[in-house]
């Protein structure tokens, strides 16, 4: 049983859709998230807004399941209560291990026989180890990503709908608009690059809690007419099909699911030099990395990519092959099955 709630991130819901097995059930505690979930889902009542009470009320649905899998911290609270009520093991998937408050919340209930945690990279795993989570409870589950189906046709259709010519270079920043995601750095970098390269636009799809802030900031750069906000109209595959490169200028680690998707789509990647990103997309091999929080450094790597087509093609090819090897949904599902098996083999206290 997969547990989520209204705060679940769009990229984590995409991971759930890619990794869910046949016969799995997805349950949302309270109102559903604003993002599209590519998986059937039922809603559970959340009494008085309490995630714990919602978990306790779901116990009748969990009797037949083997493992309870939470996909957000709020869902974790409901899932932990449910796991204890029905004596089932629990797994929590984190987008990253950067937020200290989040790690403290996890550490309060993690333990043998109840709680296993998955993170996408070895650097995240090491961070949880430094936070004193039990080593046997933390697993690396690489971010799953699948190729864009029929990319040429999708690219033509989406670009026509957005009014973008084929000669325009589209830089997509496809991460959810959350704290530290760095869309404002991407806007700055785009404005700086426009001083040198004219025919380039920035695509900021999706939404999130900071969507209004991102839109407002983009209007201050002087190039807001070349910044596109399609909202939720485009699927992640459509965004990547329309793009020529992808930017992930995170100010701190927020996860690498978007990076993996861009790599599999064959896009050259520019990003911040953070441990999780550098692990998945090594600098100079599968990406060009810049110091976090530095718009000039971000603009420099983006400009380098735009001015050297051979470099862009080489990075894109290496990134695609690397992601196909590390992030194939089939191998990620096998890894998740290992986590489930380990969790189910333990006695719930």
The CATH number assigned to the domain holding 57 equals 3.40.50.2000
330: confidence class by pLDDT, cuts 50, 70, 90: very high
Using an 8 Å Cβ cutoff, are 23 and 2 in contact? no
Domain that holds residue 310: 151-326
Read off φ and ψ for residue 44, nearest 5 degrees. Answer: -115, 150
Average pLDDT of the residues in 84-109: 81
Quick one: 89 and 33 in the same domain? yes
Q: Please compute Rg for the chain using Cα positions.
A: 20
Quick one: 19 and 117 in the same domain? yes
pTM for this model (two decimals)? 0.93
Number of domains the chain contains: 2
What pLDDT shows up at residue 294?
Answer: 97
On whether residue 256 sits in a domain, the answer given is yes
Burial class from Cβ neighbours inside 10 Å (0-12, 13-18, 19+) for residue 87 reads: middle
349: confidence class by pLDDT, cuts 50, 70, 90: low
On whether residue 251 sits in a domain, the answer given is yes
Between residues 211 and 98, the one the model is more confident about: 211
Using an 8 Å Cβ cutoff, are 65 and 79 in contact? no
On whether residue 253 sits in a domain, the answer given is yes
What pLDDT shows up at residue 43?
Answer: 79
Q: In what order do the strands lie in the sheet with 269-272?
A: 227-231, 200-205, 169-172, 245-248, 269-272, 288-290
On whether residue 349 sits in a domain, the answer given is no
On whether residue 255 sits in a domain, the answer given is yes
Which two structure tokens, joined as six digits, stand for 318? 């290496």
Quick one: 318 and 173 in the same domain? yes
On whether residue 318 sits in a domain, the answer given is yes
Using an 8 Å Cβ cutoff, are 218 and 243 in contact? no
Identify the residue whose tokens are 């990395």. 289
Q: Average pLDDT of the chain?
A: 91
Percent of the chain whose pLDDT exceeds 70: 95
Percent of the chain whose pLDDT exceeds 90: 66
Most confident of 24-28, 70-74, 179-183: 179-183
What pLDDT shows up at residue 239?
Answer: 97
Quick one: 205 and 319 in the same domain? yes
Quick one: 294 and 165 in the same domain? yes
On whether residue 301 sits in a domain, the answer given is yes
On whether residue 285 sits in a domain, the answer given is yes
pLDDT in tens, 261-309: 999 999 999 999 999 999 999 999 999 999 999 999 999 999 999 999 9
What pLDDT shows up at residue 347?
Answer: 64
Quick one: 248 and 102 in the same domain? no
Average pLDDT of the residues in 16-30: 90
111: confidence class by pLDDT, cuts 50, 70, 90: low
Quick one: 47 and 188 in the same domain? no
Quick one: 156 and 129 in the same domain? no
Quick one: 229 and 273 in the same domain? yes
Quick one: 271 and 340 in the same domain? no
Average pLDDT of the residues in 239-267: 97
pLDDT in tens, 67-89: 999 998 888 888 888 888 888 88
Quick one: 88 and 175 in the same domain? no
Quick one: 43 and 129 in the same domain? yes
136: confidence class by pLDDT, cuts 50, 70, 90: confident
- Pick the closest to residue 219 from 191, 179, 246 (CA basis): 191
């Amino acid at each position: 049983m997969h547990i989520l709630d209204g705060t679940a991130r769009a990229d984590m819901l995409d991971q759930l859709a890619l990794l869910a097995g046949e016969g799995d059930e997805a349950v949302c505690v309270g109102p559903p998230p604003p993002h599209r979930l590519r998986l059937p889902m039922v809603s559970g009542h959340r009494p008085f807004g309490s995630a714990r009470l919602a978990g306790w009320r779901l116990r009748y649905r969990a009797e037949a399941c083997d493992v309870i899998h939470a996909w957000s911290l709020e869902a974790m609270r409901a899932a932990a209560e449910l796991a204890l009520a029905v004596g089932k093991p629990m797994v929590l998937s984190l987008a990253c291990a950067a937020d200290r408050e989040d790690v403290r919340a996890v550490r309060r209930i993690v333990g043998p026989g109840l709680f296993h945690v998955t993170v996408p990279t070895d650097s995240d795993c090491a961070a949880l180890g430094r936070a004193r989570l039990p080593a046997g409870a933390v697993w690396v589950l690489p971010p799953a990503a699948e190729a864009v189906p029929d990319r040429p046709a999708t690219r033509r259709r989406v670009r026509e709908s957005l009014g973008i010519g084929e000669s325009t270079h589209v830089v997509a920043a496809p991460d959810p608009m959350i704290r530290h995601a760095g869309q404002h750095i991407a806007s700055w970098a785009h404005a700086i690059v426009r001083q040198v390269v004219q025919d380039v636009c920035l695509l900021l799809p999706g939404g999130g809690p900071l969507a209004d802030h991102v839109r407002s900031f983009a209007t201050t750069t002087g190039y807001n007419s070349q910044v596109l906000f399609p909202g939720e109209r485009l699927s992640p595959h459509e965004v990547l099909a329309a793009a020529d490169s992808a930017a992930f200028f995170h100010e701190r680690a927020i996860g690498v699911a978007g990076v993996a998707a861009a790599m599999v789509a064959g896009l050259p990647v520019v990003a911040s030099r953070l441990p999780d990103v550098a692990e998945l997309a090594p600098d100079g091999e599968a990406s060009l990395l810049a110091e976090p929080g530095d718009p000039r450094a971000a603009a420099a790597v983006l400009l380098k990519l735009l001015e050297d087509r051979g470099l862009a093609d080489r990075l894109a090819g290496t990134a695609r092959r690397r992601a196909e090897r590390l992030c194939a949904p089939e191998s990620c599902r096998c890894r998740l099955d290992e986590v489930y098996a380990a969790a189910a083999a333990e006695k719930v206290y």
